Structure 1
Amino acid sequence: MGEQGQREETTGADPVVTDGATQSLLEAVIGLGESLEVDRVLDRIVATACALTGARYGALGVIGPSGGISSFITHGIPVEAHARIGPLPTGRGLLGQLIADPRPLRLEHLQTHASSYGFPAHHPRMTTFLGVPVRIRGTVFGNLYLTEKAGGVDFDEQDEELVQGLASAAGFVVDNARAYAVSERQRRWLEEVALLTAEVRPEVPLRTALAAVVAGVRRVAQAPGAAVLVASDEGSPTQLVADGPGAQVITELVDGRSGLVSRALGGEELLVPAGDGVSALLVPMRTHLVRDSVLVVLTEESAAPALPPGHDLVRSFADQAALALDRAEGVRDRQEMAILTDRERIARDLHDVVIQRLFAAGLQVQSTLSQGAARDPESTDAVLRRLVAELDTTISDIRSTIFDLQASHAGSLRSEVQGIVRDYGRVLGWTPAVRSSGPVDSLASPTLTEQTAAVVREALSNVARHSGASEAWVELHATADRLEVEIGDDGAGLPSGRRESGLANLRERARRLGGDLELVCPPDGGTRVVWRVPIA
């Protein structure tokens, strides 16, 4: 529709609207509320205005933030004609006159108006004109433009009154549709934030996590393209993860305007044109554990003209994405620290226990060999038997260390016992040793694992409360048909006249599984609790 015209003042007389026209207006207003999609509502408003007045051509110009027309919805002009006419108007000529002075305007010959601007080539001929502003909450949202009333007659006062009534109702309908669209955006935002939190986990590689961020913000903003830029140690972008048909536009923007990218990586939010009616919003992601990052989102200037741009949702999504990335990185760092701490403990145990035992055993062998002639065979045999026992214990310790170094399976018997021992290590001030032999994990059922864990927990509780020990151990021995658990210490031993409340529980657990409990008190002190059950 051309941007030209002639202004005509209306009289103060009240226009007369016929009953038939009133009925048509009521039906039209009801029809406007059938959809909550903003674009469909705007199309329906223009089509309804044309139907009410008999106008051949109609348009709704949505006023943008700059004061010009940001979107122009037309009716009556075929798509092919649009292509021949060229770019849509932006608010000059008569269209601009109505924006500057938003009052109803009815003209017989729009070409004679002082604001006449002329028609572009291939534009259909237009003479009569009716323009009415559409207001939302007192603010002009846009203007309805109608031309070429059927039969070649002028628009009259009834037409003007009908369109004003329609425009008033249209303001409420557009307002409702906008509120619905904004609530849908917020709903998508909540869904995407929840999905992002679930997808960005510590075990997920950084690039995969960034891809989840990009896909999420695209869905939130309904953008043709989005990307995340990650800075290198020097501050320049080193990693680009892009998605969508507009990904190439972002790549070219990053490659050709490095200064903008550096400013964004430095914490500055930017909105820059990216060509072909598309802008790029660059939002810094406020991460603390991950390198400096920037979220880039393409926005189409013609998309959802009746809605606010949605930049606030993009900013808040960027903040949530930064939190998710930091959380995953923090958990990953904590896991690595736990592994390093555990390895240090294992190395310390190897040095302080295993190596010292081997060294002591070697000295005893050397001493036995050098004094063998002076010793009787029975004494030599006793020394060697003691050395063999020491070496067996050392081998068991090494096996336990190997198990610690391997990735333990959650819920396995050895991992359960290791967890209990670590817990009681904090109570005792030192950590009891754990040794195992045989196929402990492969043969122990979940029920047997649960019962064994309870036995170890009860026995170590007794060690902590009553024994006064400086050393304790838990040994697991499994054969094809039997599991034996020994919990021992070097403490004061079992007192006479004791009450066996805890030990009675251990006996009962063994009895229910078809096993038994043995208490051993060596002459040199300490206690050994041996719990034996069959393996079903």
Structure 2
Amino acid sequence: MEPLHTARRLSAAVLAVSNQLTVPEVLQTIVDTARELAAAEYSALGVPDEDGSFAQFVVSGVPEEQQEAIGPLPRQHGFLAVMLREPEVQRLDDIRADPRFDWWPAAHPVLRAFLGVPIMSGDEILGALYLANKPGGFTDEDTELVRVLAAHAAIALTHARLYARNRELTIAEERARIAHDLHDAVAQRLFGLRLTAQAADLLIDRDPAAARARLAEVSALAREAAEELHAAVLELRPARLAEDGLPDVLRKQVQILDRASGPTLVFHSGEPAVLPPAQQAVMLRVAQEALHNAVRHSGAHRIEVRLAGTVLEVADDGTGFDVDATLKAGRSLGLRSMRDRACQVRGKATITSSPGGGTVVRLEVPGA
């Protein structure tokens, strides 16, 4: 392969790490580039989970129909597991002849020449790049090219991990703030209830009608306090998508934010769609991300959440922003996170905004 072409393909893969692409798109670019530059028939990138399988497994060279015939994501066995335990490059003329080779499903392509390169962050193995079936076998030059791509895959995965941790902290802080606000609101209700009850006690002998009016106020205040406490419990426990369904979970969360924050929040729901659990979870997380941004950063007076079938929209009348400029400046991982989540379930997330024109976050996912 011409050196200039190789340099350009490497440059494109490296730029993908810092571009607007989501993590799955970056990993796919890296896998495709590795297969092309090493002249391999197949390539893949695996990121392990904690249950003996893979959180992500990106493939190049295997048609989609064949991937479906192969079945679900592979378990960590054979050379897949070797690459996740040992931080050395593995280069073999025929993977089937190695005693560590295990097996593959019936629909799996037959692999011969093999090159495996770990994806490292310091001493930690984040995943591995796998290449197979190069005529004549893999060379030292192939190994060095794939090492470069593995290093940039490590950068993308590390950024994603850091963002996830930061987002968890932000969510915890936000939940604590909401709980504090709700506690204050309930405390005010109870203080008012106590004063009204005392007033009714003073009036009960000399003005029974006024006392009954005060007791009616006590009943209303008690009901409102109970509603606030119920809202606090709903917010501070995990969403029960399986039991309550996505529309009800979203409606409750919008109601909670409407009580606890400045803008007016409104929820609209059309005919509910039957969605797999993964799609429901992504729609909920994207809605939470969009609501978090709108409540804290948009300066909006009104925020509307619409759920109709497989489409979710969160729209605000806030200050808006330049989406392209924000993404290029790398200042909004939240926008990338929403697109990343959508990509995980083959959905599409779009963010439409302009300075002074408010913001609309739209997510569409495939149905069941």
Give me the whole-angstrom Cα distance separating, in 1, the residues matched to 2:85 and 2:216.
77
Residue of 122, 135, 142 corresponding to 2:107: 122
SS state at 2:204 partner: helix
Show the 5 A alignment for 1:97-136: 97-136=82-121
Give the C-alpha shift of residue 27 in structure 1: 3.6
For 2:50 and 2:9, locate their aligned partners in 1 and report how far apart those are by CA, in whole Å.
Answer: 34
Q: Which amino acid aligns with 1:176?
A: H
Matched, 1:333 2:190: yes
Structure 1 vs Structure 2 CA RMSD: 3.2
The structural deviation recorded for 1:324 is 5.2
Partner of 1:55: helix, strand, or coil?
coil
* Aligned with 2:59 (options 74, 87, 105): 74
Which of 199, 203, 223 is residue 342 of structure 1 equivalent to? 199
SS of 2:41's partner is strand
Question: Structure 2 CA distance, aligned partners of 1:110 and 1:405?
Answer: 82
Alpha carbons of structure 1 residues 110 and 403: separation in structure 2 relative to 1, 3 Å: closer
8 A contact 1:35–1:41 mirrored in 2: no
Residue in 2 aligned with 1:50? 35
Answer yes or no: is the 8 Å Cα contact 1:133–1:167 preserved in 2. Answer: yes
Name the counterpart of 2:154: 171
CA spacing shift, 1:90–1:33, aligned 2, 3 Å: same
C-alpha distance in structure 1 between counterparts of 2:161 and 2:77, whole Å: 27
1:332 deviates by: 3.0
Q: Where does 1:137-156 land on structure 2 (aligned, <5 Å)?
A: 137-149=122-134, 152-156=135-139
Gapped regions of structure 2 (runs ≥ 5): 218-368
Structure 1 gap segments, 5+ residues each: 1-16, 194-316, 352-397, 408-536
- Report how many aligned residue pairs link the two structures: 216
**Partner deviation per Cα, 1:353-407 (whole Å, 9 max, x = no partner):** xxxxxxxxxxxxxxxxxxxxxxxxxxxxxxxxxxxxxxxxxxxxx8x88987887
Q: Does the C-alpha gap of structure 1 residues 402 and 92 become closer, same or farther in structure 2, counting only changes over 3 Å?
A: closer
Are the counterparts in 1 of residues 200 and 211 from structure 2 also a CA contact under 8 Å? no
CA shift, 1:129, in A, is 1.0
Q: 1:141 aligns to what SS in structure 2?
A: strand
* CA-to-aligned-CA distance 1:183-219 (integer Å, 9 cap, x gap): 45555666xx4xxxxxxxxxxxxxxxxxxxxxxxxxx
Q: How does 1:110-259 map to 2 (within 5 A)?
A: 110-149=95-134, 152-184=135-167, 193=174
Distance 2:52 2:72 in 1: 18
Q: How does 1:259-338 map to 2 (within 5 A)?
A: 317=175, 323=180, 326-338=183-195
> Percent of aligned positions with the same letter in both sequences?
30
- Give matches, 1:412-423, under 5 Å: none
TM-score for the superposition, normalised by structure 2: 0.51
Separation in structure 2 between the aligned mates of residue 183 and residue 173 of structure 1, nearest angstrom: 15
Deviation string, structure 1 residues 245-298 (Cα, Å, up to 9, x no partner) = xxxxxxxxxxxxxxxxxxxxxxxxxxxxxxxxxxxxxxxxxxxxxxxxxxxxxx
State whether residues 129 and 146 of structure 1, in contact with CA within 8 Å, keep that contact through their aligned partners in structure 2: yes
* Whole-angstrom CA distance in 1 between matches of 2:109 and 2:11: 31
Tell me the SS of whatever aligns to 2:194: helix
The Cα shift of 1:320 comes to: 5.6
The offset of 1:50, in angstroms, is 1.6
What secondary structure does 2:91 align onto?
strand
- How far is 1:74 from its partner? 1.7
Shift in alpha-carbon separation, 1:105–1:404, aligned structure 2, 3 A: closer
